[in-house]
Amino acid sequence: MDPTASAGFNVQQIREDFPLLSREVRPGVPLAYLDSAATSQKPTVVIDAMDRYYREMNANIHRGIHKLAEEATLAYENARERIADFIHAPSPEELIFTRNTTESINLVANSWGRAFLKAGDMILLSEMEHHSNLVPWQILATHLSLRLEFIPVTPQGLLDQDAFQDFLEQEPKLLALTHMSNVLGTINPLEDMLAKAKSAGAVTLVDGAQSVPHFPVDISTLQADFYAFSAHKMVGPTGIGILYGRRELLEEMPPFLGGGEMIKKVELRSFKSNDLPHKFEAGTPAIAEAIGFGAAVDYLSRISMAEVEKQERILTGYALERLSGIPNLHVLGPGIEEKGGVVSFYLDGIHAHDVAQILDSEGIAVRAGHHCAQPLHTKFNLPATSRASLYFYNTPEEIDRLVEGIYKAKSIFD
């Protein structure tokens, strides 16, 4: 019996929505795609929405008064509204379209950070951050002589809350944390942590690249000042992401990029910025991708994020159970109570890349390396890990194939 079967959810029917999931990597060897933390697969409705834009309404937005331009503008802005509803943002104007989570964080660092931070100010991060939430702050710290501090990660893969409290007493100006680790799978208790940071006077930023795709996120409840995520990890297209920003902060921040669309008036020696959100969307945006993003959140909403979370939790529990029986295999991160669908592991005596290559020969797609989190791997004294990342379209049979592939790797190297 399928351990993930539940009323109202048919994984085989869901999989029919995703053309690539039916692919064979070679004759007779079906694909088992276990790399959704890197990028998710795309349903037909998303592909069709983008195709429809190019076939039926391809025009630039906001600037034209002809029918195509008006239709394209309406589709683009409707997508923003649906994404705002998806995360329960107070208003669509507080959502900025960017290229991805990385650009969203860089926008905050280069606009808010350069305008409001000064030498000696502290930025508080954690040891489990993706490079996208480390390097922009390192660059800024070098330019402005800022102080970077890091909440330690415990051996269990959790953030050290006592150390966090100690850092808050030192009055950081910014707290920037991941909602869910892309290596450990740890889901951080952000509602409590952000509230404490706010009481300490810190502005807060959340890297939501691994959270918004996998469980319900309510911006109004979290009360984050900034929240960043990407479409391509949540069944949407590549090349587009979102920065949510609290209106008061976005109004105060200078533009990130200059050019067309982000202005109200331009003279030879001066300009006046446009209203939100256009103030931060210079030039022609990724129109088709925004429309595809809107179709992606519509698709996830029809399934319901509560159901997505439920299915992933069942799959993750099954994966942890199966992997626990493999000798000399070690899984990073906490138990199922505090873990999302990311299972990073290593085998004694076998390099992660060798494991991934053998799994690939069996049609099983996993990730191997440091997963853009080198400091975290250094913390655990590991050069690399193999990572199987799950999504609602995965099946227990694919996890069984993963286990069989790992045993094959062990037999080859043992």
pLDDT at residue number 6: 52
Can you tell me whether residue 331 is helix, strand or coil?
strand
Instruction: Identify the CA nearest to 389 among candidates 399, 397, 400.
Output: 399
What is the CATH code of the structural domain delimited by 47-302? 3.40.640.10
Structure letter (DSSP) for residue 337: G
Structural domain boundaries of the chain?
11-42+304-413, 47-302
Total-model pTM? 0.96
Q: What is the pLDDT along the chain (414 residues), one digit of tens a residue?
A: 354 455 568 999 999 999 999 999 999 999 999 999 999 999 999 999 999 999 999 999 998 889 999 999 999 999 999 999 999 999 999 999 999 999 999 999 999 999 999 999 999 999 999 999 999 999 999 999 999 999 999 999 999 999 999 999 999 999 999 999 999 999 999 999 999 999 999 999 999 999 999 999 999 999 999 999 999 999 999 999 999 999 999 999 999 999 999 999 999 999 999 999 999 999 999 999 999 999 999 999 999 999 999 999 999 999 999 999 999 999 999 999 999 999 999 999 999 999 999 999 999 999 999 999 999 999 999 999 999 999 999 999 999 999 999 999 999 997
Can you tell me whether residue 315 is helix, strand or coil?
helix
300: which 2 tokens? 């996830």
Which listed residue (139, 148, 372, 403) is catalytic? 372
Distance separating alpha carbons of residues 71 and 375, to the nearest angstrom: 47
Is beta strand 263-267 parallel, antiparallel or unpaired with respect to 385-389? unpaired
Asked if residues 175 and 197 have their Cβ atoms less than 8 Å apart, the reply is yes
Orientation angle between helical segments 67-86 and 44-56, nearest 10 degrees: 160
Instruction: Identify the CA nearest to 99 among candidates 308, 282, 273.
Output: 282
Distance separating alpha carbons of residues 204 and 348, to the nearest angstrom: 39
pLDDT at residue number 1: 38
Q: Is 339 left (phi over 0), alpha (psi -120 to 50) or beta?
A: beta
371: which 2 tokens? 């997963």
Q: Is 120 left (phi over 0), alpha (psi -120 to 50) or beta?
A: left
Peptide bond before 19: cis, by omega within 30 degrees of 0? no
> What is the identity of the amino acid at 410?
K
76: which 2 tokens? 């683009």
Whole-angstrom CA distances from 278 to 87, 249, 285 are 20, 15, 10
- The domain 11-42+304-413 belongs to what CATH superfamily? Aspartate Aminotransferase, domain 1 (3.90.1150.10)
Q: Is 62 left (phi over 0), alpha (psi -120 to 50) or beta?
A: left
Distance separating alpha carbons of residues 413 and 383, to the nearest angstrom: 18
Burial of 225 by CB count in 10 Å (0-12 exposed, 13-18 middle, 19+ buried)? buried
pLDDT at residue number 243: 98
Distance separating alpha carbons of residues 190 and 222, to the nearest angstrom: 7
Among this protein's residues, is 375 annotated catalytic? no
pLDDT at residue number 414: 78
Can you tell me whether residue 95 is helix, strand or coil?
strand
pLDDT at residue number 335: 96
